[in-house]
Structure 1
Amino acid sequence: MEITKITVQKKRKDRFNIFVDGAYAFPVSEAVLIKLGLNKGMQLTPERMEEIESENSAYLAYTTAVDYLSYGLRSEKEVRTKLREQEIPEAYIEPALQRLRDQKYIDDLIYGESYTRTMMTINRKGPRVIAQELKQKGLDEPTIMTALDQYPENVQLENALALAEKTLRKQSRVSSREGGQKTRLYLQQKGFDKEIIQQVFEEVETEKSTEDELDALRVQGDKAWIRYARKAEGRALIQKVRASLYQKGFANELINTYIEEKELNDE
């Protein structure tokens, strides 16, 4: 077999097309072309072809990973997944990853610390959620625990407080108790521990004024009244509405006030 022509690819000037015995055979990178001294007229033995394929695959694995990393930090698992998606042979993935480790292009601890700082600053996620996400990205438990050191307790409390206050402001149409429950559940879903959540509720004001609580009750009461009035009336209707409002966390005294208002308006 003889290399009869070498041409530069139109879209990538760093890659070349190799023609053997007058027909297109395979592409190679410029680095491989130079390293192996490929040139027109060279005779290719099966062993030489195998060497070219090996060098080309190794180079492709490495450059594909570097290109992927150029867009931002990645975990080792993410890089490995990317190479597999690009159908890089498994035999060339681990050597490429080791080279990247040696060059500090991939480092799961550095990645985990950066990810933790980003999530706590931009998204205000709690540590449990961040830990779950880092685990999904392939980080082991010791690395995750070390990375979470970037998230001190005072910052956790600050973030949780900000989220709680924002959530409570959106609860104007529900009872104080329900608003507090929804806020607590939201903080749990964001990944904050019970101890932080407890500190938050010791600092935030969850109780509405009587006037605001009654306004919220009227909103929920009117909804329940319309819903139950389709199937009940009189005392049965009142009992259903009363039970619904009680389940939503409103006090009996305010429920009685609302019922009295409705009865007066209906007269």
Structure 2
Amino acid sequence: MTEKETSLPKITKIETQKRKERYNIYVDGEYAFPVDEAILIKYVLHKDMEMPADLMKKIMADDTERKYYNQALGYISYRLRSEKEVRQHLKEKEATADIIEKTVQKLKEQKYLDDQIYGDSFVRTAATISQKGPGVLKQELKLKGLKDEVITQALTQYSNDQLIENALKLAQKTWKKHRNTSQREAKNKVQQILFQKGYTQEVIQQVLAALDTEKTPEDEYESVQTQGAKIWRKNQRHDLRKRIQKTKQSLYQKGFPADMITQFIEEIQLEEE
């Protein structure tokens, strides 16, 4: 055989890409494959280097892994991510299951990926900037893929003082929003919102005890007038007897005292005579 027939392919050119730290490799005068700078250094790629097929295949496989590793690094550079989020991100980028596993393990070994650190930070941030209770945070962390024992530990970051403070702020906001309803309905609404936001019954009762939920008779009757006027107008298509019946029924359901309802009905009838 001639020397030309027995010689291995060689790198004839290494070209810098516009993308930072990326290079194009040419073999025997033709474009062959791209590589990351880290791969270029790892294999000490240079002009006239022999490039057998098995080596080229290995370099390309390493570069693919490096590409997805860099994508994962970029994804977690903006904020902390859970392991599940990183896996999902790589899957969306069409990484193979093998590459996803290798990338995740590498990130965990380098301490760039840690569900406990993620969970702790998630809870501390939520406790500071939101009024969500532990129950809601627990469900959100489950959706992020965290294990139960990791979530339990993370929730210890939510201090009891912060818990009561957040719940009380939410209760006060809710009470104010429903100030024109009956005392009973407003109180029930506070309990409902706190429960939906993930607070325990124990915390809810503490907050209700600290919250001023007492309305003066004057305030309560003012609420009867506000709510009653709306209901009265809504039922104007009915005859007087049925209109009175439906208005009374609605106000009863809203938790207003019977004597105040009767007083309101008498007053509004007089106004319309």
The separation in 2 between residues aligned to 1:22 and 1:84, in whole angstroms, is 35
- Match of 2:17, as an amino acid? Q
Contact map agreement 1:57 1:89 (CA 8 A) in 2: no
Which residue type is aligned with residue 220 of structure 1?
Answer: Q
| 2-structure distance, mates of 1:115, 1:241 | 48
Conserved in 2, the CA contact under 8 Å of 1:238 and 1:259?
yes
The residue correspondences of 1:78-89 to structure 2 (distance < 5 A) are 78-89=85-96
CA separation in 1, counterparts of 2:36 and 2:76?
20
Partners of 1:170 and 1:13 in 2: CA distance = 54
Query: Could you say what secondary structure the match of 1:206 adopts?
Result: coil
Could you tell me how far apart the structure 2 residues matched to 1:220 and 1:19 are? Answer: 80
Percent identity between matched residues is 48
Q: What's 1:248 paired with?
A: 254
Quick one: which amino acid aligns to residue 15 of structure 2? T
Q: CA deviation at 1:201?
A: 1.3
TM-score between both structures, scaled by the size of structure 2:
0.91
Partner of 1:260 in structure 2?
Answer: 266
Describe how 1:197-236 pairs up with structure 2 within 5 A.
197-230=204-237, 232-236=238-242
Aligned to 1:4: 12
Task: Give yes or no for contact 1:117–1:150 (8 Å, CA) kept in 2.
Answer: yes
2:156 paired residue number: 149
**Which one of 131, 150, 173 corresponds to residue 166 of structure 1?**
173
d(CA) in 2 for partners of 1:30, 1:155:
48
Offset, 1:25 = 3.1
After superposition, the C-alpha distances for 1:38-87 in whole angstroms (9 at most, x for unaligned) are 23333432211221122112222322222222111111111111222222
Partner in structure 2 of residue 57 of structure 1: 64
Number of equivalent positions:
265
SS in 1 for 2:111: coil
Match in the other structure for 1:25:
32
2:43 and 2:113 map into 1 onto residues whose CA distance is: 28
Amino acid at match of 1:122: I
Contact kept, 8 Å, 1:165 with 1:204, in 2: the verdict is: yes
Counterparts in 2 of 1:261 and 1:37: CA distance versus 1, 3 Å: same
Q: How much is the aligned-residue C-alpha RMSD, in angstroms?
A: 1.6
Deviations 1:89-119 (A, max 9, x none): 3222222222221221111111111100111
Cα deviations by residue, 1:153-180 (Å, 9 ceiling, x for unpaired): 3321221111101110111221111111
- Counterparts of 1:84 and 1:39 in 2: how far apart (Å)? 33
